[in-house]
Amino acid sequence: MAVAESTRKSDIPANTMALGLLAVVVVPLVLQPDFGQTMLIALVWGALFFMAGMRMIWGRRTRRRGGGRARRAYYFVPHVTKRINRFMDPASGDTYQVSNAMESFVRGGWFRAGAG
């Protein structure tokens, strides 16, 4: 990863490049709005950035900003509010996907049944 290489070569603007690439991927997802995929990509990016030697101050800022954005999405985007509320209280709405996933684990277990 270019971020790890920047510790050896200080002339590489690796942090700026990594943030720019993250923005290129995340902005179209937010415009769709696909918040689940956006959160997944942001979390994986954060984990990679951390493993590459991210400074602790960056980690704190990233967590704080991510938490703030997640809260804003919960309060201002009705779709996100409904999804989180249904996850926290399954009796509050349609749980078709979760119910099917749980049924597949019950019927097939972790290692017993494959596709078909």
Question: Per-domain residue ranges for the chain?
Answer: 2-108
List of E strands, 22-107: none
pTM, two decimals, is 0.59
Give pLDDT tens digits for 47-61: 887 777 777 777 788
Give pLDDT tens digits for 62-100: 778 888 888 888 898 888 888 888 878 877 777 787 788
- What are φ and ψ of residue 15, in 5° steps? -65, -40
pLDDT of res. 64: 85
- Asked if residues 46 and 62 have their Cβ atoms less than 8 Å apart, the reply is yes
Whether the predicted pLDDT of 45 surpasses 60: yes
Give pLDDT tens digits for 5-35: 666 667 777 777 878 888 899 889 888 878 7
| 48: its two tokens | 């990679």
Place of tokens 């200080």: 10
Whether the predicted pLDDT of 110 surpasses 70: no
Q: Which residue type, as a one-letter code, is found at position 68?
A: G
Mean pLDDT of the chain: 78
pLDDT band at 4 (very low <50, low <70, confident <90, very high): low
